[in-house]
Amino acid sequence: MPPDNAEQSAWFVENLQPHEAMLRSWLTSRFPSGIDIDDIIQDACVRVMRAREKGPVNAPKAFFFATARNLALNAIRSSKARREKDTVPIDTCEFLDEASDVHETVARNQELEILTKAIQALPDRCRQIFTLRKVYGMPQREIAKKLGISARTVNAQISIGVNKCAEFVESYCQGGIQ
């Protein structure tokens, strides 16, 4: 029997949503700007959730990333077939950076995971403002307008977020957080 909506929502919040920022960052660094990252992530979420309806998903983060990667590759292939000028040929995309050391790649991925955990540890409002500014690049004035708060509050929350993330990372590196 497939999971109900409440169970699906809880599973999504626990297993996919925490990795969205890291996935967005990874996709942006690996694929040309001609693909719509938002669409890729949304489609990946839908496909993972559909797969979960059919049976358990043992490694949701890995499945989420692999699904998004495949969707991005398909988007590049289809745009190449349509001969869009703003896409990069698939041969030139660095999906696996063979020139860099494996250790560097692993370390970079671990750093992204630690940063994601640091952002998730922020208080709700602070995390929301911090993410809008630092992940999505939204200007502080727009954030203030969107959330109905002052620009000074936005600035203060971003400062708090930066400081708390720095403390989290420092504590994590010293072995205080697992």
Q: What is the pLDDT of residues 17-75, one digit of tens each?
A: 888 888 888 888 887 777 888 899 899 888 888 888 888 888 888 888 888 888 888 88
Decide which of 24 and 98 is more confident: 24
Rg of the chain (C-alpha set): 18
Quote the pLDDT of residue 84.
46
97-178 CATH pick, 1.10.10.10, 1.25.40.10, 3.40.50.300, 1.10.10.410: 1.10.10.10
Query: pTM above the 0.85 mark?
Result: no
Decide which of 133 and 107 is more confident: 133
* Domain ranges across the chain: 1-95, 97-178
Calpha distance 140→96 (Å, rounded): 35
What's the CATH number for 1-95?
1.10.1740
CA angle 126, 130, 131 (to 5 degrees): 120
**Tokens of residue 172, six digits:** 């994590």
